[in-house]
Structure formats: C-alpha cells, structure tokens
A and B are shown apart, each in its own frame.
Chain A
Amino acid sequence: MGRALGILIWLLTLGTVVLFFSGWWFPTTITEHGPQVDQQFMITIIVVAIAFVAAQIGLGYMVWRYRANAQNKDERALYTHGNNRLEVIWTVVTAVVFIGLAVMGQRVWANLRFSEAPAGSFQVEVVAQQFAWNLHYPGPDGKLGHTDPTLIDDQDNPIGLDRKDLGARDDIVGSTLVLPVNRPAELILRSKDVTHSFWVPQLRFKQDLVPGMQIHVHFTPTKVGQFQLACAELCGMTHYKMQGTLLVLPQDQLNDLMARPKDEFQSRVEELKKMYEVGAIYDEQGKTKLGMSY
C-alpha cells in the first residue's frame, strides 16, 4: 500500500509537471510590460514547481520508506517531538523566499499603477454595459465630452453623450477599441450598470470597470493586430458573450482613421478589421504577419 501510494503521488506530480510543459501557455504578449509580467510569472512558477515537486517527492518517499510491514512489525517508530533548529530554518527560508517574491512582483505593478499615464498618451474612454463595450474617443479636440446617464438612448446614444456640450460635438462613440502601436494608451474605465472587467489576454492586463468610478489605467501596445476583448467579472446573464474587439494599428493608419469625418469612422474600422486576422500579430507597419498570438 505504501509503495503504491508513493508511486501514485509521484505519478500525479509528474503528470502535473508534464501538463505545465505541454505547450498550453499564455498567448504572446503585445504590450511593453507584458514580458516583465511573463518573466515574473516564470520565476514564480519555477519556485512553485521546485517547492511542489520537492514536497510531493518527499511525501511519496516518506510513504514508501516508512510503511509498516511484516519485517519491521516489532520495531517502533522514531520517538521525537520535533527539532527547534529545523523549525527556525524552514520558517526563515520560506519567509525570505515568499516575501522576496511578493516584493519582486511589485515592480511591474508599480510601473503600471503608481504613475499617471505619460504625457501624449492616446486617450479612450471605455464604457461597459450589460453586455457590450462602448468606446468613446475624444475626437480632434482631444477632449472627452460631457455625458449624462439621463440622455442615454440604447440605439443612438449608448453612453449618454451631451450633444449640447461643445467638447462632445466631435466625439466618436464606437464599438471597437482602436489603439496606436508603440504609444502609451490611457483608458478611462467606467460602467453604466454593473461591475465589468476589461480583459485582453495578450495585453496581460485586467481591470474592473466599477459603476460610480472612473478608473484611469495605462499601458503601451507594441504589436499591431486584432484581438478579442472579454469581460472578466460576472455581469449577468450573457456575461459569457460580452465580446469586444481591440484593434492595435500602425501610427499612420490610426492618424488617418482619426482624421476622417465622424460618420466614416465605423465603416473604416470595419475595413481595417478585415486587414488583420483575429489573434494574429503584425509588425509595426502592419505589413508582415509575424504569427499567431496563440
């Protein structure tokens, strides 16, 4: 029994490790901070793997080695109540490793969250609702117009844009998130109804959109392409298909898009979407496909 259990524990450990190296992994990242997140994840997962494998091998070994059987039935187990030196050693070692990891993990976090978006960021307001994404672009004046929930009209004015406001006249509201490559993007996240969460796996980025709050976040996309945007916070009945699109464009294409009249915006976005395969990554000019992100 002891041997069987020991072997089973080892096999399950092996299976777990194999599964982690079987090729299912993050989609390729398309942001500046993405590689740092991936690196921190790799470091952590290696520490986790070492601890996991060591503990399971140890457990399997104990179970195998110290089983009671016919040969040793007259012997007694070791009589010990523990060892204070060992307790101190493993407490200190795990404390150093664990807290060290936690501190290391703050670096990327600090870069992303402790600072405002850099000057010259591309600003978009993301307004989530059950079960769609509305993107609010400031237009040529660079100012996001005033909105008011009482002005919301589900067909014509999903975010309640106040058309009397001068700053709102040139604003564009669309259903596709368009961002320029290699330029910091600043998203202003808010929600009309319940809590949603902005989640694009390739961005290595997630943030809740909380009603009553305007949450400013920023990151820099570094690859061109079309990616799927998902909601990661349970928001109601069809949460599972609250799907949106993130389109990262070369600078010139974006400038061209933004310079066009308002009513051409959506049709041009549709054209651009056809140029980029969903999930694929392109170079900075958007000319060459570098491969799939997953």
Chain B
Amino acid sequence: MADANVLHEGQETVHRHEPPKSFIRKYIFSLDHKVIGIQYLTLALVAVFVGMTLSVLMRMNLTWPDVNWPLLGTIKPEVYLSLLTIHGTIMVFFVLTTAPQGGFGNYILPIQIGADDMAFPVLNMLSFWVTLVGFIVLIAAFFVQGGAPIGGWTAYPPLSAVPSAGPGQGTGMNLWIISIAIFCVGSLLGALNFITTLLNLRAKGMSLMRMPLTCWAWFTTAVLALLAFPVLLAAGVLLFLDRNAGTSFFLPAGLYFGRDVLKNAGGSPILWQHLFWFFGHPEVYIAILPGMGATSHILSTFARKPVFGYRAMVFAIFAIGLLGFFVWGHHMFISGMSPYSAMAFSILTLAIGVPSAVKTFNWLGTLWGAKIRFTTPMLFAIGFVSLFVAGGITGLVLGQTSLDLPMHDTYFVLGHFHLVMGVAAIFGMFAGIYFWFPKMFGKMMSEKLGRIHFWITFIGVYSIFIPMHIMGIVGMPRRYAQFSDKNGQIYGFLASLHPLVLFVTVAAIITFFTQFIFLFNLVWSLFKGKKAGDNPWEATTLEWATSSPPPHDNFAGHPPVVYRGAYEFSVPGAPNDFVMQTEPDAEESGSRAQQDSSGNGHDGHKH
C-alpha cells in the first residue's frame, strides 16, 4: 500500500512509503503517480503514432486521389472522412490532453511541489485506466459495421445525430460518443486530483508564487478541464439520446433522409455547437497551457536566467484560462448565431491574444542577456516559441467576424490551429520528454539523435502548415476527401494549388519518418543511455533535488523545504550559477542553526 508507514528501526526514523512488491501492483495497477504518468505517456505515444499515420494516409489521398495503394486499396471518401474524424479525436483527446496533463503533469507536478504522491492515488490510477478504455472503444469504431464515424471530431448534428446520414454514423458514432464520455470521466478524475494535490500537498515554504510555472500551467489546465469536460459529457448524453431514444434536443422538425421525414421536432443543431465549443475552446488551452509551462521552465533553465516577469506569466496563464471560457462563439460566427453576439465574441477573442502576446514577450525577455545552453530540450523550447508565434498570430485574422466570411472552414484554419495547438503543444512535449527523461529513467537521451530530430521536425512542420494558410486564402475548404476525381479538378479556383499540395504531402511524409528517430532515441536511451546524475541540467526545482529516478515516495522520507522562487539562476555572488529551491539563505541558515540547538535537526535535503 502506498500509504503504509514503515518505521525504520535505529538512529534514523524516517517515514518511507515502500513500493509494492508484486509486479502487477508496481507497474500495472500502480498507485504511484510516476508509474501512472509513464503509463499516460505511453498511451499518448501509441495514440500519436496512430493519429500521425492516419494523417499521412489523408495527405496521400489528397495528393494522389483514386490510386489503388498496395495493401490499402483505394481510399474511399467515407474512409477518408473516418480517418479525419479519428485523427482529430485521437490527437485532441488522447494525445494533446493526455500527454501534457495526464503524463507530464502526473509525473512531475507532485515532485515539483514536494509531495510524495497525488492526493488521491486510487482515483489517479482509475483515471488512467478509464482513459485507456476510452481509447480502446474509439479504435474499436474502425472495426464495426459501417466503420468509424465521418462527422469530424466536432460531431455536428444532424450529421452526427442521424444514423442514416452516412456510413459510420450508426454503431461507429455510438462508440465515438461512448469513448468521449469515458474520456470525460477519466479527465475529471485527473483534474480533481491535480487541483487538490496542488492546493493541499505543497511542501513547507512552497508558497504559490514560488511554484514553477509548469505547476501553474498544470493547475490552470486542471481547472479548465474540471469546468469544461462536464459540459461535453452533458452534451454527449443528449446527443446519444437523440440518436438512440428518439428525443429531439438537437434535431429540428422536417429532416429528410433517404425518402423519409424523421419524426423528431423542435431541437436545434446550434445548441450542440454552443455546448460543444463551450468545452472545445477551453480544450485548446488544455492542450497548449502545459506546453507553455514547460517552455517557460526549460527556457529559464538553459538560458541560466530567472524567468522574466514571473508574476506577469502567472497572470497571463490565468487570463488565458479565464478568457478561454468566453470566446467559444468565434467558432460559430457563420453558424446562424446572432450577429451581435458574434461581435462580442470577436472582441473577446482578440483580447485573449493579449495575454498570449505577453507570454511571448516574457519568453524573449528571458532569453535577453542569457547564456544559452543549446541542449535538445532547449532547442524544442525555442521551437515552441517560434511555432506559437507563427500559429497564434493568425488568430488575429480568424477572430474577426468579417474575415471569418472568407476564412471559415478553409485550410487557413487548419494551418492556424495545427501550428498553435498541434505542433507547438507537441514541441512543448518534446522539450518536456528530452528534459525530464533523465529524471524519469536515470539515463540521458542521445543529444545527437535529438538534434537531428529537432532540425528536421522544425523545418518539417513549418513546411507543412505555413503553406496551408496560403491554400486557405485561395479558398480551399477543409474536410474535403479529394480535390479532383476522374474528371479532373473539381473546383477550378483550387487548380493552381497543386504544387503546394504536393509539397505539403512530401514534407509531411518526411516529418513522419523523422519521428521514428525520436522513437529509436527513446528506446535506445532507455537501455544504452549515459547515466544521468540527480541534476544533470543544473536546474533549480524540486524534481532535481531527489535521485534519478526518484524513489517510490519521491524524497525518500525527507520532505523538502523550499526557501526561494523557482528560477534562481546566475545569482550574483552565489557559488554556482543556479541556486536550488531547497538551499537555505545564508541569513536563514543562521537562524536555523539557532533552531538546531533548540532540538530541530538540519533539514535533510540533498544536492
């Protein structure tokens, strides 16, 4: 049991929580947040390779439609659309929500605040297993009659609510809703745990404003998840009933499908859109905030500088989280929603750009006057900043009501959100894995392979997603299975784009294969990596004040005490260019010495 207290006999009486002995309790149904974090990361890794493979298949079909591929055959339009739906669902839920929060958050947050585990280890274990079940149910949708749903990850009714609206909208769509509902439950359990842990289990001296920015990001993300996922769950229940119980929440009167007029009446498809995007927009920040946190953390560490404007960074995270709940309508400017509320949503949407810009300025401020060490995690963190700017800034275009008229649902949107919530968030995760791998496994990852991975991927994602903006300006609509058929180009105004389409596909395939270098590096380093010390990066926060990997209870029964902020690098006069959070002040050491004489021992942190 994780909370069993074992008292050691003898001179040192330390409360340690011994790891469970059996393999199953230790590695499978583990209550240890570190094991659960790695389980989440493994799930996300599997999911991301599935999602990526689907996207490459989609690019192939867009570039060479109606080709009879070896093994695959021809990719029919309905198959393309099911690839599209599952790609979006996997990436948004099972990669961008699980890896940054469930994976890294789970592993790192308790250690960074000096706790020995999450507040509710059993709920933590449940949240992972529930999420895994959700993933299996989603994948199962490919193998039922009619195949996976074709309605996209946004599942707009009536397409999603009427089984006869298309192939995959029958059993496949039911499985989709069930999978998402299960995922919601798992995420809520996780969010509950994160919030309680952060509020309640911080080490002595770990005041809120001394926390690493990663912890702020994970905390805000958990709050967003806590408030957003219940709404998706509620909407999913209503959609499920519309499909299976004959209710009319989202279905209006007079729908005509295949010679029949449906009996439903009075519902509204736009109601779904409101509920969905009320969840969906915060979800975007659920994906990106942890990446922002990791980037701030890693930039500061390798710039050997304190984070510039720590307080402003915290406020910016909060502002983004808060405003994130009031901008959902910008997905719906042309949905038939009131044009007046569209205007309000538009202004709020551009307002959310302000805290995002503040974060960028502060990242640049952190690099200013730095002494940058170009490790692989640092390369990815810098890449994150570059991609976040490139992807985020076009939000200024899409957030405007009048510009949404030409831009809505074109490849411009695709380029925008893939850059900012897709690859920028993924770069944050790459930075995280290269940075924390030594802590997790006690081995360094290969820097050489890491650099190759970075250079190709960085150029690759720019090459994939920047041209998509151009396609969108020309007018290419998203979610088209193909742009030409046996009679040639379907839409004349898109004909000139063919070289760009080809270029993007080639870039995507190269980038795809580059990811296997990362996979190889991961596996190779696990076995053959150079041994990592406790603090290989000379960083300051608590996870580096324990061994690599940390013991079962994180600090071997010596809860750390925190004396300073998270990013004390290059302090003038200090012996090293980093001062760990656990290192007492000189002055304070004095007063502590006094305390020693009164019977309290010196604190047992180690370096």
Contacts and interface: CB of A to CB of B under 8 A. Distances in A.
B308 A232 contact: no
B405 A206 contact: yes
Given A102-B349, A208-B335, A294-B474, A228 B491 contact: yes
Contacts of B241: none
Nearest to A20: B470
B77 A237 contact: yes
Contacts of A236: 150, 159, 165-166
Contacts of A207: 334, 336
A45 interface: yes
B408 interface: yes
Interface in B136-170: 150-152, 156, 158-159, 162, 165-167
B234 interface: no
A78 B379 contact: no
Interface residues of B, number: 117
A211 B470 contact: no
A6 B196 CA distance: 42
A101 to B, nearest CB: 6
A237 B255 CA distance: 18
Contacts of A47: 396
Contacts of A112: 402, 405
A239 B404 CA distance: 21
A241 B358 CA distance: 44
B386 A12 contact: yes
A72 B371 contact: yes
A47 B577 CA distance: 40
A5 B379 contact: yes
Interface string B324-336: 0000000000111
A86 B183 CA distance: 42
A47 B353 CA distance: 13
Given A109-B402, A149-B254, A201-B406, A63 B396 contact: no
B483 interface: yes
Given A76-B572, A78-B369, A80-B305, A94 B312 contact: no
Interface size class, chain A: 35 or more
Interface string B365-396: 10111111110000100100110011001101
A119 interface: no
Interface in A50-65: 51-52, 55-56, 58-59, 62-63
A204 interface: yes
A95 B361 CA distance: 13
Interface in B339-359: 339-340, 342-343, 346-347, 349-351, 353-354, 357-358
B277 to A, nearest CB: 14
Contacts of A211: 158, 251-252, 254-255, 269
A130 B334 contact: no
Contacts of B370: 62, 66, 77-78
Interface stretch (A173-181, A191-199, A248-256, A266-274): A191-199
A20 to B, nearest CB: 7
Contacts of A235: 159
Nearest to B495: A294
B389 A55 contact: yes
Contact of B303 (A15, A77, A91): A77
A294 B604 CA distance: 72
A48 interface: yes
B514 interface: no
Contact of A293 (B255, B261, B493): B493
Interface stretch (B47-55, B94-102, B458-466, B531-539): B458-466
Contacts of B162: 193-194
A52 B200 CA distance: 41
Given A16-B390, A26-B473, A99-B347, A212 B253 contact: yes
Given A37-B406, A77-B570, A44 B364 contact: no
B477 A230 contact: yes
A106 B402 contact: yes
A241 B133 CA distance: 37
Contacts of A167: none
B166 A237 contact: yes
Contact of A243 (B159, B336, B396, B491): B491
A56 B393 contact: no
B490 interface: yes
Nearest to A108: B402
Given A194-B158, A208-B336, A19 B382 contact: no
Nearest to A103: B347
Interface in B57-105: 77-78, 81
A118 interface: no
A82 B365 contact: yes
Interface in A89-111: 90-91, 94-95, 98-99, 101-103, 105-110
Given A78-B369, A236-B159, A206 B406 contact: yes
B578 to A, nearest CB: 10
A20 B230 CA distance: 41
B138 to A, nearest CB: 19
B372 A48 contact: no
Nearest to B455: A8
Chain A CB within 10 Å, residue with most, of B256, B310, B343, B362: B256
Nearest to B272: A195
A166 B169 CA distance: 40
Contacts of A215: 336
Interface in A72-88: 72, 75-83, 86-87
Interface string A211-234: 111010000000000001011111
A113 B339 contact: yes
Contacts of A51: 357, 389, 393
B405 A208 contact: no
23 contacts: A2-B372, A15-B462, A24-B470, A62-B370, A63-B382, A66-B367, A77-B577, A79-B306, A79-B569, A80-B308, A82-B362, A94-B357, A99-B351, A102-B399, A105-B346, A106-B346, A110-B343, A149-B261, A208-B334, A212-B269, A232-B408, A236-B165, A239-B81
Given A55-B389, A148-B254, 17 more contacts: A16-B390, A24-B470, A26-B406, A40-B400, A44-B403, A48-B397, A51-B357, A55-B364, A91-B312, A94-B354, A102-B347, A105-B402, A108-B405, A113-B342, A114-B340, A237-B150, A240-B483
